[in-house]
Amino acid sequence: MTEPVLLSSDRDAVRVLTVNRPDKLNALNAATLDALDEAFRAADADPAVRVVVLTGAGAKAFVAGADIAEMNTLSPAEGRDFSLRGQRMMRRIETLSKPVVAMVNGFALGGGLELAMSCHLRIAADTAKIGQPEVNLGLIPGFGGSQRLLRLAGRAATLELCLTGAPVDAARALELGIVNRVVPAAELEQQAMALATQLAGSAPLALRGVLDCINYGGECGIEEGLAYEAAQFGLMFSTDDMREGTGAFLERRKPAFKGR
């Protein structure tokens, strides 16, 4: 029986999605892109899910890139369609209404780094290797790497990683702002789940408001971004969670957010 390319499990309000092609270092083929797209769509629609953690199966790789064997046979039109397929899926992650944490447990190269960068937060093992090596294959990043890396790490780092194709270690990725945290490999799952559990205990509508403001504000002028933030701030006053959160603060107790 064929193993599924994506595994899903729930730990209370945290959904853990695992790319499950360890024999291929979790390389992204068309079937895996589609499975990820559907899994994130389902997570977004499920009110029991408050946070998603994304990782790769096995000890070696988060995702080591796109599936080169599959790409090798594509025509130019098919290559563009493959790029758009990956971009649509990663844009779904980036615009998800719930926080997504990438648990980078090994190689995150090419499409793997692009996948990690589409997540809202990235926590990496100290053994992880990160890069955009497409130039070594006569290619360029196709799933948004040139754009998201530019926004995360700036022009100089993006040009270096994309032009040389050389990977960097986790410590350097942290310096460049590509990942948020680096932890010992043995502690990665524990710390990633602790972060996800912390987020899951926060007010879901407030988390969504933060994500919306940053996604919108990052792509517009400051005045438009400030106006959008003020509108979202005002909307929070219509929520039960805002009353619960402020009430709990005044009463010196822990809030119980319900997502409404």
Q: What's the DSSP call for residue 260?
A: -
Return the closest-CA partner of residue 124 out of 132, 112, 136, 110: 112
Catalytic residue, candidates 134, 160, 187, 189 = 134
Round to whole Å and give the CA distance between 136 and 259: 47
d(CA 175, CA 28): 27
Q: Which residues contact 132 (CB under 8 A, 6 or more apart)?
A: 109, 110, 113, 114, 141, 145, 146, 149, 161, 162, 165
Alpha-carbon distance of 213 to 207, in angstroms, equals 10
114 flagged as catalytic: yes
How far is Cα 119 from Cα 178, in angstroms, rounded to an integer? 11
Strand partners, 124: 104, 182
Is position 224 annotated as part of the catalytic site?
A: no
Backbone angles phi, psi at 2, to 5 degrees: -70, 135
Selecting among 78, 114, 219, 229, the annotated active-site residue is 114
d(CA 13, CA 60): 27
Contact status, residue 94 vs residue 215, Cβ threshold 8 Å? yes
The answer to whether the beta carbons of residues 81 and 102 sit under 8 Å apart is: no
3-state secondary structure of 119: coil
Residue 6 host element (H or E): strand 6-11
Can you tell me which residue has the tokens 């909307």? 235
State the catalytic residues: 114, 134
